[in-house]
Amino acid sequence: MDLGSLKVGSYIIIDNEPCRIVSYDHSKPGKHGSAKARVAAMGVFDGSKHSLVSPVSANVEVPLINKKNGQIISISGDTLQIMDLETFEVFETSSVEEEIRNKIRQGGEVEYWQVLDRVKIVRVKGS
């Protein structure tokens, strides 16, 4: 996708990290160059700030985000074992949003995102 068609709230890959755009600013083309875009984004998994300055016409990678539902099978420290409710596939993850960590219960349903072969729990369902 070209950088000029993205906007705040879109997702982009910066330094092999999927990020959500929090600010987007572009400058007009000048006498000796093309228009530039300045993007500030927050990492989906690490929560750190990433930035990108590039021509508006440059191609950038956009991640495919699979939003799925699952059920918590077991909780062991920070590691959660989750079963997908469609395929019944079982996997483990430790990536959980901080504000929902205390709402997670064994046997409860959660919504999780699968991005670039990584999994993150984003919300607890039914509470």
User: What is the chain's pLDDT, residue by residue, as a tens digit (127 residues)?
Assistant: 888 899 999 999 999 999 999 999 988 887 878 889 999 999 998 889 999 999 998 999 999 999 999 999 988 888 889 999 999 999 988 877 777 888 888 888 999 999 988 888 888 887 5
The pLDDT assigned to 103 comes to: 86
Q: What stretch(es) of the chain map to CATH 2.40.50.140?
A: 66-124
CATH fourth-level superfamily of 66-124: Nucleic acid-binding proteins (2.40.50.140)
CATH topology of domain 3-55: SH3 type barrels. (2.30.30)
The pLDDT value given to residue 127: 55
- pTM here? 0.81
Q: HEC profile for the chain? A: CEHHHCCCCCEEEECCEEEEEEEEEECCCCCCCCCEEEEEEEECCCCCEEEEEEECCCECCCCCCEEEEEEEEEEECCEEEEEECCCCCEEEECCECHHHHHHCCCCCEEEEEEECCEEEEEEECCC
Q: Within the chain, which residue ranges are assigned CATH 2.30.30.30?
A: 3-55
